[in-house]
Chain A
């Protein structure tokens, strides 16, 4: 397998708290990886650093072998990194269709077009409908994003990021706040779309049933550092992981 993303001794500190404490994170091309750990373990901080939402104190981020540590958000999107957010982040005053089509316009460098109507771009329209179809939202195209149910909002949130056609997609808790039944539906949809689109995905997730079922590889973080890294079977057999998941400290 080819290395798609690599962080080298990545560090970020907030006051006394070490959010990322010398993290060496490697993502292989084509894998569906889960990033797990208790609250405050540093998972979201790591994704924020890689997506340029935060700047690291030190360390290096390589994407496809290229140093992207000092690239801006839009530059990282251009090289192929996209993300969704822990709390659903949509354009509530726009329709479901517009939410996704904006990603396509932006990716194609057409977002600043001012002299023609957005709906008249047939290529964008076709691709937007295709993405919405993949995420089961085709019937909701005209609905305002603010009027969707929570499960649909979660799917749309992922669809908006996916429509950028990234090489690497970070999904921050794509199933938080939805019922167990909906979790399976969302993850089935997301994993099948992502795998079909040959997108490399890194998912932050708390539900270990979901993690074990869908991941090729699992990385566990604790207090800003990596605690374990392996296949679902290896992680299941790891006692340190079990201790953390059961809420016990490592020193116990």
Chain B
């Protein structure tokens, strides 16, 4: 395989394999709470990975990605309550097409505009969903939300009941989410390195020139939006069984802000930026909430510092540092 003869690609594959090995082994050394936190981190990483296809690769800043996370979460809640479904695979198989359909619809409306107009449209549409979830309480449970029972995994082969079931669920579910995360990373990697992904980057860099290559800009943006929304919905689908409850808060605009924050924190110009951002943000927020009642202030200060000191995010800053060290090491 030509791919394996390429040294940089080989290094990348080795780094990815090492990271995966660490993630596989980590639950053996950490407690159930930390495992649960790491699961939330991986889910946030999937959401940010989807979000960043729009921001980092297409140049469109969505302020409404909470909508897709919420669509995923509420799809699972409705399937569990109204169809009596308990299988995680069915949640995914039914939830994803619903999410894709709604992402396609939202995208069709939003991609006709760019810059601030795009951002405001996405924000407005997510707020419409938030209002519906909040007001239609006889359908959505209103502010109380909807409870989601613990699902079965692997077509019902793994179920959780009896004593110690919570710990068993957290452990098993971690590996389930890790597998989904690994698939998402590979799929997104292929997308952004495909001709389609390169076309998106061209549109991001220079829309006029891209049009003069014959690329149909709106169509590319629409497909990117659809994929982005579906990825973030998958994160919502995976999140709700672990949380056990979904409320309108996951559709509210501050949650969209958190997804933006996540991408900025990790670095939206790097493929791995949103992944790191998702995991770091989960820990940051959890510990900030646990440490002080002014946790929002703390996160706000982090955001300001991030933009002023590390505009390229954690991954961008580390890459720059590595490049500098490499340059110094050269004769």
Q: A residues bordering B, Cβ < 8 Å?
A: 51, 53, 73-74, 77-78, 82-83, 85, 89-94, 98-99, 101-103, 105-107, 110-121, 160-161, 164
Measured between beta carbons, the chain B residues less than 8 angstroms from A74 are 211, 214-216
For B194, B195, B211, B216, the residue with the greatest tally of chain A CB atoms inside 10 Å of its CB is B195
In the bound complex, what is the Cα–Cα distance between A53 and B213 (angstroms)? 13
Number of A-B residue pairs at CB separation under 8 A: 105
Contacts of B175 in A (CB 8 A): none
Per-residue interface assignment for chain B, residues 213 to 230, with 1 indicating a CB less than 8 Å from any chain A CB and 0 otherwise: 111100110010000000
Taken together as a complex, chains A and B put the C-alpha atoms of A98 and B193 apart, in Å, by: 11
Q: Is the CB of A164 within 8 A of B206?
A: no
Query: Does B316 lie at the interface of the complex (its beta carbon under 8 Å from any beta carbon of A)?
Result: no
Bound complex: CA A121 to CA B208 (Å): 26
Whether A91 touches B214, Cβ cut-off 8 Å, given contacts A105-B199, A111-B196, A113-B194, is no
Within 8 Å by CB of B195, from A73, A83, A93, A112, lies: A112
Q: A117 near B194 (CB under 8 angstroms)? A: yes
- Chain A residues contacting B113 (CB-CB under 8 Å) are none
- A164 and B213: CB pair below 8 A? yes
| Whole-angstrom CA separation of A117 from B196 in the bound complex | 9
B201 touches A91 (CB 8 A): yes
Interface residue total, chain B, C-beta cutoff 8 A: 28
Chain A's closest residue to B213 (CB) is A106
Measured between alpha carbons, how far is A121 from B2 in the docked complex, in Å?
A: 12
B198-A73 in contact (CB<8A): no
* Contact assessment for A51 and B212 in the assembled complex, using a CB-CB cutoff below 8 Å: yes
Per-residue CB contact flags for chain B residues 6-20 toward chain A (1 = under 8 Å, else 0) read 000000000000000
Which A residues touch B212, using CB under 8 A? 51, 53, 73, 77, 82-83, 85, 89, 161
Given A74-B216, A111-B215, are A102 and B204 also a contact pair (CB < 8 Å)? no
A121 nearest in chain B by CB position = B195
